[in-house]
Amino acid sequence: MPVAFEGGCFCGEIRYRAKSVFDSGYCHCSMCRRFTGCPALTWFSVPEHDFSLVSGVPKAFQSSATFTRYFCSTCGTHVFGRDSRTASPKVGFRLVSIGIGTLDDPETDRVKSVTVRVTPERKWIARLGPFAAWAWTILAAGGGAMLLIDKGPWPLTNGWFALLSGAAACPLTAWCAKRWFGIRLSGRAQFVAAVVIWLAGQIARRIGL
């Protein structure tokens, strides 16, 4: 996925361009806290060969034996940091970590996905997730409801489990939980709940409940 992110410091003296994203995240370490004056630093990293300074000469500050931070000497913005070694041992090349807050357009979808740490693969899953959830809702809840209509609500039929499993996976359930109870249900929690209920139904059927 070719990307080109541009950004710079508050006063505009320092400008940079990044052509790819290697990783992203938050750092709560004491050095990042001190340097930014904030609870955490939100960053994305770029292989050095995909990073270029467009203008300005940032001031360097070596914050540890292996890391140097660069900031604007006019406005003080902490723009990026770089491994002081020639290559980061873990990845084999040098990485530049850029403060996400210095991007010109941090609201674009591409950067939002950086902010929440979604790699392209995960993004694909994230897009597929709601489809799968609705498919299961329709399949399980629909099938369950039909079983209940067909066989009646009692004794405890597999229809109830299927219905509940479908409801657990349903994106609307998450929406209602957040809206009415202030509970945030993650897609993963919903998936697990749906699977557990479905399995419970299978066990109930096996032991002839």
CA distance 153 to 105: 55
Closest contact distance (angstroms) between CB of 42 and Zn ion is: 11
Among residues 84, 118, 86, 79, the alpha carbon closest in space to that of 1 is found at: 118
Work out which of 13, 17, 38, 63 binds Zn ion, going by CB under 5 A. Answer: 13
Among residues 63, 68, 74, 115, the one that binds Zn ion under rule CB under 5 A: 74
The nearest distance, CB 54 to Zn ion, in angstroms, is 13
CB of 116 to Zn ion, least distance (A): 19
Residue 171: which H helix or E strand, with range?
helix 171-181
Per rule CB under 5 A, is residue 32 in the interface with Zn ion? Answer: yes
72 binds Zn ion (CB under 5 A): yes
> Which of 4, 6, 11, 142 is the binder for Zn ion (CB under 5 A)?
11
How many Cβ atoms sit within 10 Å of the Cβ of residue 64? 11
Count residues near Zn ion (CB under 5 A): 9
- Asked if 27 touches Zn ion (CB under 5 A), the answer is yes
Q: What's the Cα-to-Cα distance from 187 to each of 18, 114, 157, rounded to whole Å? A: 32, 19, 27
